[in-house]
Amino acid sequence: MDWIFEARWSPYAAGIGIGVLSWFTFLLSNKPIGCSTAFARTSGMFVRIFRGKKIDEMPYYKQFSPSIDWEWMLVLGVVLGGFISARISGDFSIQVVPAMWAASFGSAPFPRILTALAGGIFLGFGARWSGGCTSGHGISGTLQLAISSWIAAVCFFIGGIASAFIIFKVIG
Amino acid sequence: MLNVIHTKKGLQLFLGFLFGILFGIFLHKGGATKYDVIVGQLLLIDFTVVKIMLSAVITGMIGIFAMKSFGWVELHPKPGSWGSSAIGGLIFGIGFATLGYCPGTIAGAVGNGYIDAATGGIVGILIGAGLFAAIYPRLMNGILRKGDFGDITIPKLIKVPECIIVPIVATFLVFILLALESKGM
């Protein structure tokens, strides 16, 4: 049972685990694994605080109502699952600046958090523009052989690889 | 039986949470909750993320198409268009590299104790999703519809039965993984 406490598994073991998990989400919940819609719903909940009932007239929130659903609970579960796994693996650590970032841009927290904010804005915006993320399109959509998901997944990596090279080889 | 389970709202919320916990454990154990692993993938020096994704796709695809042939599950392919899938994908890619997490792995990164994910990253995704919702009315009948192809799948597009396409795609993806391993990547 030592494998439960290992800090890292083979990426293939983790991937096969996610694949088998998706069998059960389809079977028991009739749903593919996805994460980015939960963020859209949550942002809608915040908008509702400020704009009240006006939100119900916004076309986007008519499609994705700002409420807690299966996928929202899934994302919440990922936080807990990540925490449990990190704790039992002895890998939990409070860390602001990742090592690779620090090696190129220094260990000051503020620039990293600000960059994460900017990156998050692009990520959240792009995920809703394309209709999914690395889980919803990249894994769940491609495994259903959906054309939209194969195009989106390839573009995630084209955009990501180009941007990573600019950030670390040109700027950094 | 399954239909009854699918319609029980409280049970579904619980199942979503339970599946999320397992997903979070797999993402963490695979290393995908780490900025260095994700950025390492995008810099093409660490192929962990691609290995996780492709082995998940191969496993999931074979199981789900097998269950579909028994009539146990149905597919949920997302609709798309060049304007939505390709342009949205490229914008996502910019965020993917700049943030160093994605919407699923960032939740695991928060559980891992990573403050950049829990503060800037999460707030950024919420702002980005909110901005999209705000400008959606101006995009929905324009760019998002450019080159619309609906929710079509590869077997339907090329009119070849799933029982032939699935083994071909699975074999192709296994070859990609074998090629990565043989190159020591």
Q: Residue A109, class by beta-carbon neighbours within 10 Å (0-12 exposed, 13-18 middle, 19+ buried)?
A: middle
Least Cα distance to B86 among B160, B138, B132, B147 occurs for B147
How many percent of chain B have pLDDT more than 70? 100
Query: Which tokens go with B25?
Result: 């454990």
Q: How confident is the model at residue B1 (pLDDT cuts 50, 70, 90)?
A: confident
Q: Which pLDDT score is estimated for A2?
A: 85
Distance (Å, rounded) from C-alpha A150 to C-alpha A154?
Answer: 6
Listed in sequence order, the residues at least 6 apart from B148 whose beta carbon sits closer than 8 Å to its beta carbon are B79, B80, B81, B83
Backbone angles phi, psi at A95, to 5 degrees: -140, 135
The answer to whether the beta carbons of residues B65 and B161 sit under 8 Å apart is no
Query: Which tokens go with B91?
Result: 């914008």
**Min CA distance, A85 vs chain B (Å)?**
5
Tell me if chain B has a CB within 8 Å of the CB of A105: no
pTM passes above 0.90: yes
The answer to whether the beta carbons of residues B93 and A157 sit under 8 Å apart is yes
Q: Which pLDDT score is estimated for A30?
A: 98
**Average pLDDT of the residues in B140-154:** 96
Which residue is listed with tokens 């600019």? A166
pLDDT along chain A (172 residues), means of 10: 90 98 98 97 95 91 96 98 97 97 97 98 98 97 98 98 97 87
Whole-Å CA distances, B26 to A20, A127, B86: 11, 22, 28
Q: Which pLDDT score is estimated for A172?
A: 83
Q: What is the DSSP letter of A95?
A: B
A:119-138 residues touching chain B, CB 8 A cutoff: 119-138
Best A87, A143, A157, A161 residue to mutate vs chain B (most B CBs within 10 Å): A143
Q: Which pLDDT score is estimated for A39?
A: 98
Report the residue from A15, A117, A144 with minimal CB separation from B55.
Answer: A15
Element holding B37 (H helix, E strand) = helix B35-42
Least Cα distance to B56 among A37, A8, A123, A22 occurs for A22
Tell me if chain B has a CB within 8 Å of the CB of A66: no
Q: Which pLDDT score is estimated for A1?
A: 78
**Is the ipTM of this structure higher than 0.95?**
yes
For A6-40, give the DSSP string: -S---HHHHHHHHHHHHHHHHHHHS-----HHHHH
Bridge-based pairing of strands B148-150 and B80-81 is antiparallel
**Average pLDDT of the residues in B108-115:** 98
